[in-house]
Amino acid sequence: MGIIFSIISGKGGVGKTTTAANLAIGTAMQGKKTVVVDFDIGQRNLDMILGLENRVVYDITHVMDGDVRLRQALIPFKKNENLYFLAASQTKDKTVLNKEKVEKVLSELKKEFEYIFIDAPAGIESGFEHAVYFADAVIVVVNPEVSSIRDSDRAIGIVDAKSKKSQEGKRVAKYLIINRINPDLVQKGEMLSSEDILDILEIDLLGKVPEDQIIIEASNTGHPVILNEKSEAGRAFKRISRRLCGEEVPFVDIESVKHSGLLKSIKKMFQ
Ligand SMILES: Nc1ncnc2c1ncn2[C@@H]1O[C@H](COP(=O)(O)OP(=O)(O)OP(=O)(O)O)[C@@H](O)[C@H]1O
Ligand SMILES: [Mg+2]
């Protein structure tokens, strides 16, 4: 039986889709049968980041509505045979997802795949709600910015209140990825350090990913950074994927952690 990891954030544009693509490739590289599903209805771009935009014929709505079988909608990732992708529909109606039908699709995926990543949309609309509802674990992506951390705090609250598992009295594992860390700014005290962020959010750190220009190039060419040995962010995603596969991978100090003076005033906002 597979595990569903929903990748959420609260604030948009922090790197959820980038994370979903790279971690899915990462677990596939570790030999795990993996599928990554786009829940960002109407605004899909995971297909592009994976370089599969020309391959999308059917999407999750077609499967939900029984127009095609799941097999027909799953797109193989050419660069790794363990990975498949299921696209989001491009409809303007963001409420197309239906709980019973989504559950059926996900339970079929759980039978076939070990790792199921859901790329959630920003905000707390229908796609987010479904991603959270069915999650076995959530991966919260934040940037080292107050607005991102505040919004993720709210999103974490929704996980506790609304997920199926927590409604059944079970625990939904929650992991944090801090993305777009700029070590120079942290050292100058102009960016929150990960220590500061962990102090505020109090969830388990899964990994830190540095700001990396190669990511922008990678998004445009459909060649995610995890496949690029030269990319520091790619190496960070690789370490995170290995952790997800149960390996103990030491945390690399990419920022030379220092308590920033910003912390005191920011903490007040969360009390
Ligand atoms: N570590 C990084 N270094 C540099 N650029 C990054 C990094 N992570 C993400 N980006 C860039 O930030 C932008 C937003 O990333 P992405 O689309 O993954 O965010 P998102 O959270 O999925 O956004 P949305 O909420 O709109 O779905 C993209 O242009 C991406 O290339
Ligand atoms: Mg996205």
Nearest CA to ligand 1 atom 8: 15
∠117-207-190 over CA atoms, to 5°?
Answer: 125
- Is the CB–ligand 1 distance for residue 206 below 6 Å? no
Does the C-beta of 234 come closer than 6 Å to ligand 1? no
Long-range own/partner contacts, residues 52-59 (CB < 8 A, 24 or more apart): 52/77, 52/85, 52/87, 52/222, 53/222, 56/87, 58/87, 59/86, 59/87, 59/88, 59/89, 59/90
Measured distance CA(251)–CA(239) in Å, rounded: 8
Whether 212 lines ligand 1, by a CB cut-off of 6 Å, is: yes
- Report the C-alpha gap between 268 and 159 in whole angstroms: 23
pLDDT on residue 56: 96
CB 62 within 8 A of CB 73: yes
Please report the pLDDT score of residue 271 as a whole number.
66
Residues bordering ligand 2, an ion, CB closer than 5 Å? 16-17
Q: Residue 21 CA: which ligand 1 atom is closest?
A: 18
Q: Does residue 11 line the site of ligand 1, with CB under 6 A? A: no
The reported pLDDT for the residue numbered 249 is: 95
* Burial readout 140-170 (b: 16 or more C-beta within 10 A, e: otherwise): bbbbbeeebbbbbbebbebbeebbebbeeee
CA distance 27 to 82: 9
- Residue 202, exposed/middle/buried by CB under 10 A (0-12, 13-18, 19+)? exposed
3 state SS of 55: coil
- 119 forms beta bridges with 7, 38
Mind giving me the DSSP string for 206-261?
EEEEE--THHHHHHHHT--GGG-TT-HHHHHHHHHHHHHTT---PPP-SS-----T
Domains and CATH numbers, the chain: 3-269 (3.40.50.300)
Atom of ligand 1 nearest to the CA of 11: 25
The verdict on the CB of residue 233 being under 6 Å from ligand 1 is: yes
Q: Is 179 in the pocket of ligand 1 (CB under 6 A)?
A: yes
Residue 218 CA, closest ligand 1 atom number? 31
Q: What is the token pair recorded at 213?
A: 């220009």
Quick one: which ligand is closest to 13's CA?
1
Our answer on whether the CB atom of 15 is closer than 6 Å to any ligand 1 atom is: yes
Would you say 192 and 144 are in contact if contact means Cβ atoms under 8 Å apart?
yes
User: For residue 265, what pLDDT is reported?
Assistant: 63
Task: Give residue 258's pLDDT.
Answer: 47
Tell me the mean pLDDT per 10 residues along the chain, length 271.
Answer: 96 97 98 97 93 96 95 97 96 84 96 98 89 97 95 94 94 96 89 92 95 93 95 97 96 70 66 66
Cα–chain center distance at 217: 20
